[in-house]
């Protein structure tokens, strides 16, 4: 597909914006070529500034469970716009959004709205440290919880795509409070608790990883994390920014029947607008200011446009839980077309084709993927009108509005593109 306007815009952007983009993976360094500048979206499709049309499997990196410009979301935003864009004061809809989250995720007894997954991550760790009186956090290699200093350790996602080490600018003192362990490794967690008795405040985990590509927990692994944190007096934090309301109406904690102490949310809860949240047990969240001494604040937290869009999204989910069966079926159909030397991981409407014949169960095995072949596959799919995440180490997302025709066209394009990439 021709893209002269995108080329011109990218050249212009690089003169004013680092790398020409406002989030690193968008620069396409993991696949090569010039990123497409998007003009608009409609349903399951996006259209670039050169007039090319694509079936979209990024979905704004997960939030667009109902696709682009879904009528219920647009109506909610338009209604909110008639009242104002920001107040810096409470609104009734904030209460309704948190009450809806509580109904769908019973582990969340209280929650605080914030503006991004990064903000939720830095806040939830402060709460965990303040509540337990401990300083150390266990995270897992390849899991990304935002770019807060103490969490940007072996963080997968854009860091993996760009081949970057742990980020310059993070003081050693911050990284010293974080222990990064292999995902799905029970023994590594046991050893960490044994080596740091009564020092570990929390274990934070993506219950289904999406930032090393889609990687699911081994059977019993999340149950083990729940048991060991209870035994050792640490908190279990689920980062459901990506999986929350994406893999099931109640997120991964519903899917795997695990009740974490604290949860991070984002993406889907904003219906495509920027918002996030963190919440959990009442006795923990009651320690957050102004109820308690653990401070966190935000000028635009609870922004009425984002709150109303998110409320419309979650109400639609409550009223139409059947969308999950349809999305799961669509993802299974797409996954089935992969050849034997490509590993497919999927959970619900999340999926990744890994260009390796070996199982992918953690960051180390994900990194064995042939990224050059993935790059060829990505561009072959793009030429056939299918827009995938421009990185081997990102999950793709199916929405509730991907049609049978979209899925059929995607499968046909994938079979042709695999032949090109693997030749």
| pLDDT of 38 | 98
For residue 358, count CB atoms less than 10 angstroms from its CB and return exposed for 0-12, middle for 13-18, buried for 19 or more.
exposed
**Short-list 32, 69, 142, 105, CA closest to 395:** 142
pLDDT digits (tens, 9 = 90+) for 209-238: 999 999 999 999 999 999 999 999 999 999
C-beta neighbour count of 199 within 10 angstroms? 16
| pLDDT of 163 | 47
| pLDDT of 329 | 97
Sorting pLDDT into bands at 50, 70 and 90, what band is 294?
very high
Over range 369-390, report the average pLDDT.
98
CA 277 to CA 209: how far, in whole Å?
19
Tell me: pLDDT of 83 over 90.
yes
Higher pLDDT, residue 274 or 176: 274
Over range 357-367, report the average pLDDT.
97
Exposure string for 282-302, b = 16+ CB within 10 A, e = fewer: eebbeebeeeeebebeeebbb
pLDDT digits (tens, 9 = 90+) for 56-75: 999 999 999 999 999 999 99
Output Rg (C-alpha) for the chain, integer angstroms: 21
| Beta strands at 262-265 and 235-240: parallel, antiparallel or unpaired | parallel
| pLDDT of 164 | 47
Tell me phi and psi for residue 245, to 5 degrees: 65, 10
Over range 278-288, report the average pLDDT.
98
Tell me: pLDDT of 121 over 80.
yes
Three-state DSSP state, 90: coil
Sorting pLDDT into bands at 50, 70 and 90, what band is 15?
very high
157: left (phi over 0), alpha (psi -120 to 50) or beta: left
Specify whether the CB–CB gap between 167 and 157 falls below 8 A.
Answer: no
Tell me: pLDDT of 161 over 50.
no
**Helix ranges restricted to H, 116-156:** 117-132
| pLDDT of 104 | 97
Over range 271-294, report the average pLDDT.
97
For residue 217, count CB atoms less than 10 angstroms from its CB and return exposed for 0-12, middle for 13-18, buried for 19 or more.
buried
Q: What architecture is domain 4-69+322-421?
A: Alpha-Beta Complex (3.90)
Name which CATH class applies to 71-319. alpha beta
Specify whether the CB–CB gap between 361 and 184 falls below 8 A.
Answer: yes
Over range 5-23, report the average pLDDT.
96
- CATH 3.40.640.10 domain extents, the chain: 71-319
CA 396 to CA 263: how far, in whole Å?
22
User: For residue 70, what are the contacts with CB-CB under 8 A and spacing of at least 6?
Assistant: 43, 271, 316, 401
CA 136 to CA 150: how far, in whole Å?
10
Sorting pLDDT into bands at 50, 70 and 90, what band is 154?
low
User: For residue 224, what are the contacts with CB-CB under 8 A and spacing of at least 6?
Assistant: 186, 189
| Beta strands at 386-387 and 235-240: parallel, antiparallel or unpaired | unpaired
**Short-list 165, 248, 254, 240, CA closest to 209:** 240
Specify whether the CB–CB gap between 121 and 145 falls below 8 A.
Answer: yes
395: which 2 tokens?
């999950």
- CATH 3.90.1150.10 domain extents, the chain: 4-69+322-421
% of the chain beyond a pLDDT of 90: 91
**Short-list 62, 76, 108, CA closest to 100:** 108
315: which 2 tokens?
């109400």
Tell me: pLDDT of 158 over 70.
no
Specify whether the CB–CB gap between 238 and 260 falls below 8 A.
Answer: yes
| pLDDT of 395 | 97
Specify whether the CB–CB gap between 211 and 155 falls below 8 A.
Answer: yes
| pLDDT of 295 | 94
> Which residues participate in catalysis according to the annotation?
144, 239, 267
Sorting pLDDT into bands at 50, 70 and 90, what band is 1?
confident
pLDDT digits (tens, 9 = 90+) for 162-209: 444 466 777 777 778 899 999 999 999 999 999 999 999 999 999 999
Specify whether the CB–CB gap between 65 and 72 falls below 8 A.
Answer: no
Taking all residues of the chain, what is their mean pLDDT, rounded to a whole number?
Answer: 94
């Amino acid at each position: 597909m021709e893209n002269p306007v995108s080329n011109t815009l990218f050249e212009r952007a690089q003169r004013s914006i680092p790398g020409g983009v406002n989030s690193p993976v968008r620069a396409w360094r993991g696949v090569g070529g010039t990123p497409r500048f998007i003009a608009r979206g409609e349903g399951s499709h996006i259209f670039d500034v050169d007039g090319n049309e694509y079936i979209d499997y990024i979905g704004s990196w997960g939030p667009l469970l109902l696709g682009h410009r879904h009528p219920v979301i647009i109506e909610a935003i338009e209604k909110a716009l008639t009242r104002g864009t920001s107040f810096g004061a409470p609104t009734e809809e904030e209460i309704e959004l948190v009450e809806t989250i509580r109904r769908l995720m019973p582990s969340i007894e209280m929650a605080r709205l914030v503006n991004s997954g990064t903000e939720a991550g830095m806040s939830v760790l402060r709460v965990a440290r303040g509540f337990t009186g401990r300083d150390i956090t266990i995270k897992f290699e390849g899991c990304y919880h935002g770019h807060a200093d103490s969490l940007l350790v072996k963080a997968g996602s854009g860091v993996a795509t760009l081949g970057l080490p742990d980020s310059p600018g993070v003081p050693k003192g911050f990284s010293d409070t974080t222990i990064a362990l292999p995902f799905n490794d029970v023994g590594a967690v046991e050893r960490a608790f044994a080596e740091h008795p009564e020092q570990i405040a929390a274990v934070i985990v993506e219950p289904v990883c999406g930032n090393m590509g889609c990687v699911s927990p081994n059977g019993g692994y999340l149950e083990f994390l729940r048991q060991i944190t209870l035994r050792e007096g640490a908190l279990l934090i689920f980062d459901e920014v990506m999986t929350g309301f994406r893999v099931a109406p109640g997120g991964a904690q519903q899917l795997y029947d695990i009740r974490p102490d604290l949860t991070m949310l984002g993406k889907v809860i904003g219906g495509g607008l920027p918002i996030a949240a963190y919440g959990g047990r009442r006795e923990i969240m009651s320690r957050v200011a102004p109820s308690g001494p653990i401070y966190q604040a935000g000028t635009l937290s609870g922004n009425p446009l984002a709150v109303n869009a998110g409320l419309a999204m979650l109400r639609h989910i409550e009223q139409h839980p059947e969308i999950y069966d349809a999305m799961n079926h669509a993802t299974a159909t797409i996954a089935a077309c992969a050849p034997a030397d490509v590993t497919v991981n999927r959970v619900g409407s999340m999926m990744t084709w890994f260009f390796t014949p070996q199982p992918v169960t953690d960051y180390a095995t994900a990194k064995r993927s042939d990224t050059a072949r993935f790059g060829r596959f990505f561009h072959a799919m793009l030429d056939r009108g299918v827009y995938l995440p421009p990185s081997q180490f990102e999950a793709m997302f199916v929405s509730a509005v991907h049609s049978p025709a979209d899925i059929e066209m995607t499968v046909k394009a994938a079979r042709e593109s695999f032949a090109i990439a693997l030749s």
